[in-house]
Amino acid sequence: MKHINSDSIDKMESRFRANLFNTISGFKSANLIGSSDNNGKTNLAVFNSVVHIGANPPFLGFILRPTTVARHTYENIKANGFYTFNHIHESFIEKAHQTSAKYEKNVSEFEACDFGIEYLNNFSAPFVKESKIKLGLKLEEEHLIKTNGTLLVVGKVIDAYLDENLISTDGSVDLTKAGTVTVSGLYEYSKNI
């Protein structure tokens, strides 16, 4: 087995290190986060860092770097207080990934990447029409991770939309049936069997 230590990590070429440590923790969830500012200007961004915080009541977190392209998502969440998680499925991996490209603040990735916008039951943030599993969240708390300036954003799930036939009798959601994908690193999407 190859041993990589702090010394060799420091000396790695930066793209190589980024790829290594974005993949080495295992498969990740793939979600599109929908948000909008107080003027109704929408934003959509792919995130692979959604993490389960609790089930009763239901809380989910995600990690973001406020200094990158993700800052539009953060600004919107802070301004609006509500946002959405939308599953990425096999059928639209490419355009979902395209939301990670750099767009100007006045460009909505919903339009730029050809996603349908859905507003459901007066929830103030936009859902993705193409997603078969979508969640509406209310911002609950945030934590600054001092060591590298990233943020953990925690939200409470207050709405969920999915086909009834994806829910088993015990409550479990059949993600394989939904065609939900996982991501390894930043761009390797795969399906599960």
**What residues numbered 11-50 form the site for a copy of itself, per CB under 8 A?**
12-31, 48-50
Closer residue to a copy of itself (CB): 111 or 116: 116
- The site map against a copy of itself for 121-150 (x = CB under 8 A) is x-----------x-x----xx-x-xxxx-x
User: Which position has the token pair 């959604």?
Assistant: 50
Does residue 66 bind a copy of itself (CB under 8 A)?
no
- Rounded distance between C-alpha atoms, residue 17 and residue 8, angstroms: 10
Euclidean distance between the first and final Cα of the chain, in Å?
Answer: 28
Asked whether position 119 contacts a copy of itself by CB under 8 A, the answer is: no
Minimum CB–partner distance for residue 87 and a copy of itself (Å): 6
- Please report whether residue 172 would count as binding a copy of itself according to CB under 8 A: yes
Q: Token pair of 134, please?
A: 């979508």
d(CA 135, CA 143): 22
CA distance 124 to 80: 8
Chain-centroid distance, C-alpha 22: 15
For position 111 contacting a copy of itself by CB under 8 A, the verdict is no
68 binds a copy of itself (CB under 8 A): no
SS3 for 94?
helix
When asked if residue 94 is in the footprint of a copy of itself (CB under 8 A), the reply is: no
The distance of closest approach from Cβ of residue 104 to a copy of itself in the complex, given in angstroms and rounded to an integer, is 26
Both tokens assigned to 10: 């420091």
Using rule CB under 8 A, residue 177 touches a copy of itself: no
